[in-house]
Chain A
Amino acid sequence: MCGIAGLIHRGKSSKVGHELQGMLQALKHRGEDSTGYALYGDTDGKNFIMRFKVGENVGEGSTSVAEDVSVYDERKKIVDSYLNEMGAKIIKEERILPYSLRYEIEYNKKDLLEFSQKIESIPGVEILSMGKSLEVIKDLGNAKMVCDRYNLDKLVGTHAIGHARMATESGVDIKSAHPFWGYPFSDVSVVHNGQLTNYWNNRRALENKGMRFMSECDSELIAVYLAEKMRDGASLEEGMRESLTGLDGVFTYFVATKDSLGMAKDTMAAKPLVLYESDDLVAMGSEEIAIRSILPQEIDTYDPFDGEVKVWQI
């Protein structure tokens, strides 16, 4: 059992970091092994923001092996040198935690595949997100703990999705935490609640087509599946509709891009989702209490039906 939440403001910006924190904290009883945020902040759109990790959180409850901080330093140096080699200029650098970094990068090539492959060829390094608006922040603990650790409260943006995870089929670590970046597409992220039963079949087929998996978490498949569909020319919504038959199991998932937010629900409607929709705000979560954390007044909400796909623009 995991909890997912998402919101999109239409025609305005808001403190989406604070809002999503409240929504995910309301769902913490659904799992607090790890919590992740995909925040779409207000930027000038010129530079890429790369969130990446050079190691794992090895705190209480983690299934990762402890490493010396000097290893993280060494990996960071290699990342810096690779960026230099590829002509990417670091405009701003923040080391939020010993293992977690945020770079603002000037990089003019559109294809991020080669870029990502090069960076992730360094053992222990994973790009959590790459985009001109998207920032994926995920770590162990509940929503408030992660929000406080990464100072997400003040982040202003248009939309966001997040995930409160109860680890069931893979480890308690950052690499298995949601959201997943829609590698190698800029500004695409996914969160999922459910279980995918044809994970390995799909994974093998997608790996044969050159797609990359960083974890053994079944939910990562959705991000990779959609990325592959979009690589072949499908729109996000088309890819999501195909996923209803291409993915087997029970699922409700959210996908976000630079300017849109979407949801899909499996054909058995086995996983919960409550949705609120108004002219200027769409908010949804695994339980109504998530929406209530930002809209305490009486509101009209509903459960999307089985096999439903919806996409909203900012």
Chain B
Amino acid sequence: MANIKSVSKKTKAQAMGMHTEVLTGRTQQKFFNPDEAENFYYFGTHDVDFNKRTDLDVKDMSAAEANKEIDNLMSQGYGTIVIKNPQGKHSLGVGILNKLNLIFEGSLGYFGMGSCDGPIVRINGRVGWSCAENLMAGKVVIEKNAGSCFGAAIRGGDLICKGSVGARTGIDMKGGTIIIGGDAGAFTGFMMQRGRIIILGDVGINLGDSMYDGTIFVGGEIGSYGSDAVDSDLTKSDQDWLKRKLKVAEIGENFDVSKMKKIVAGKKLWNYDNLEPTEKKGAI
């Protein structure tokens, strides 16, 4: 298991509040060697051409059939796929591991775009619970509202909802960025470990409850703070990053980021000081 310790010299990412810990010792981390690129094969991926475009009507398909057809189209090199009539079906667009321009003309049900790594997705509708769960990389934009557990456990990429989202947004997230144009529900950032959440509107109770690390920016009112979530100073670096991110996300471009609140982990709950479990109770 990796050792975790605080360091005095901060990287740029740490200075911006993305994370504060450093992993040392033996890990499972592997480094990509460009010289061996020809030997690298990412199972389940396809080389696609963004200029090759097609429509797919999934009205009379099950989610499994629709996903299989998306995979089939990608294997034929289609790089832009427009999905017609998703009609709130669950689990659409899951497990896409390559670059792809995917557009949904309608709303998704639960678990849409789960476990993806790389696609650029636009959903011209709303999404149900657990959208983009475990997203590794890419960008998912939702034009309307989203349900609870939005971006649960994402590790990277940008997840953008232009409307409001439900409870437990960014629960257990380990990286990446979640941007919300409207309001967010209770327990936003619950147990988040890394990454950043931006909420332009209000947020519900227990914000950042039991968060280990990462940063939450809130533009509106906060219902209440969760255990170990504390305010932090909004730096110039934060503001620059927020402006850039909102511009790229095509959301809140004229929003006054200087008035946003920055929330980070107080680090009282997590064993940063090598406390024994019984001692930790005292620390809380």
Query: B-contacting residues of A (Cβ < 8 Å)?
Result: 267-270, 272, 274, 287-289, 291-292, 296, 298-303, 305-307
A287-B109, A288-B88, A291-B88 known; A303 vs B147 contact (CB < 8 Å): yes
B183, A288: Cβ atoms closer than 8 Å:
no
Q: What is the 8 Å Cβ interface bit string for chain B, positions 74-86, against chain A (1 contact, 0 not)?
A: 0000000000000
Judged by DSSP, the binding face of B is loop
B145, A301: Cβ atoms closer than 8 Å:
yes
- Restricting to B164-207, which residues have a CB under 8 Å from any CB of A? 164-168, 183, 185-187, 204-205
B87, A272: Cβ atoms closer than 8 Å:
no
Q: Can you sample 10 A-B contacts with CB below 8 Å? A: A268-B167, A269-B166, A272-B147, A287-B128, A292-B87, A298-B125, A299-B107, A303-B165, A303-B185, A305-B167
Q: Check B101 for interface membership: any CB of A closer than 8 A.
A: no
Q: Check B126 for interface membership: any CB of A closer than 8 A.
A: yes
CA separation between A307 and B186, bound complex, in Å? 9
CA separation between A129 and B167, bound complex, in Å? 35
- Restricting to B17-38, which residues have a CB under 8 Å from any CB of A? none
Most chain B CB within a 10 A radius of its CB, from A270, A288, A292, A301? A288
Q: Check B118 for interface membership: any CB of A closer than 8 A.
A: no
Q: Check B148 for interface membership: any CB of A closer than 8 A.
A: yes
**Cross-interface CB contact of B126 among A267, A269, A301, A306, cutoff 8 Å:** A301
CA separation between A291 and B128, bound complex, in Å? 12
Residues of B within 8 A of A288 (CB): 88, 107, 109, 126, 128
A267, B88: Cβ atoms closer than 8 Å:
no
Residues of A within 8 A of B147 (CB): 272, 274, 303
B186, A306: Cβ atoms closer than 8 Å:
yes
A268, B125: Cβ atoms closer than 8 Å:
no
A269, B167: Cβ atoms closer than 8 Å:
yes
B128, A267: Cβ atoms closer than 8 Å:
no
Residues of B within 8 A of A296 (CB): 87
A305, B186: Cβ atoms closer than 8 Å:
yes
CA separation between A181 and B90, bound complex, in Å? 33
Besides A267-B205, A298-B125, 14 other CB < 8 A contacts? A268-B186, A269-B187, A272-B128, A274-B128, A288-B109, A298-B107, A299-B107, A300-B144, A301-B126, A301-B145, A303-B165, A303-B185, A305-B185, A306-B186
Closest to B59 in A: A296
Q: Nearest Cβ distance between residue A251 and chain B, in whole angstroms?
A: 14
Residues of A within 8 A of B204 (CB): 269, 305-306
Q: What is the 8 Å Cβ interface bit string for chain B, positions 133-172, against chain A (1 contact, 0 not)?
A: 0000000000011111000000000000001111110000
Closest to B125 in A: A298
**Cross-interface CB contact of B129 among A268, A272, A291, cutoff 8 Å:** A272
**Cross-interface CB contact of A305 among B88, B129, B183, cutoff 8 Å:** B183
B89, A289: Cβ atoms closer than 8 Å:
yes
CA separation between A299 and B125, bound complex, in Å? 8
Closest to B202 in A: A305
Residues of B within 8 A of A270 (CB): 167
CA separation between A267 and B167, bound complex, in Å? 10
Q: Nearest Cβ distance between residue B111 and chain A, in whole angstroms?
A: 11
Q: Check B220 for interface membership: any CB of A closer than 8 A.
A: no
**Cross-interface CB contact of A269 among B144, B145, B148, cutoff 8 Å:** B148
A288-B88, A303-B166 known; A272 vs B186 contact (CB < 8 Å): no
Residues of B within 8 A of A269 (CB): 148, 166-168, 185-187, 204
Q: What is the 8 Å Cβ interface bit string for chain B, positions 104-137, against chain A (1 contact, 0 not)?
A: 0111011000000000000001101100000000
Q: Nearest Cβ distance between residue A171 and chain B, in whole angstroms?
A: 29
CA separation between A290 and B168, bound complex, in Å? 23
Residues of B within 8 A of A305 (CB): 166-167, 183, 185-186, 204
A289, B88: Cβ atoms closer than 8 Å:
yes
B107, A272: Cβ atoms closer than 8 Å:
no
Residues of B within 8 A of A298 (CB): 105-107, 125
Q: Which 4 A-B pairs have the closest CB atoms?
A: A269-B167, A288-B88, A306-B186, A303-B166
Q: Nearest Cβ distance between residue A265 and chain B, in whole angstroms?
A: 9
Residues of A within 8 A of B109 (CB): 287-289
Q: Nearest Cβ distance between residue B170 and chain A, in whole angstroms?
A: 14
CA separation between A288 and B91, bound complex, in Å? 13
B148, A303: Cβ atoms closer than 8 Å:
yes
CA separation between A212 and B126, bound complex, in Å? 42
Residues of A within 8 A of B126 (CB): 288, 300-302
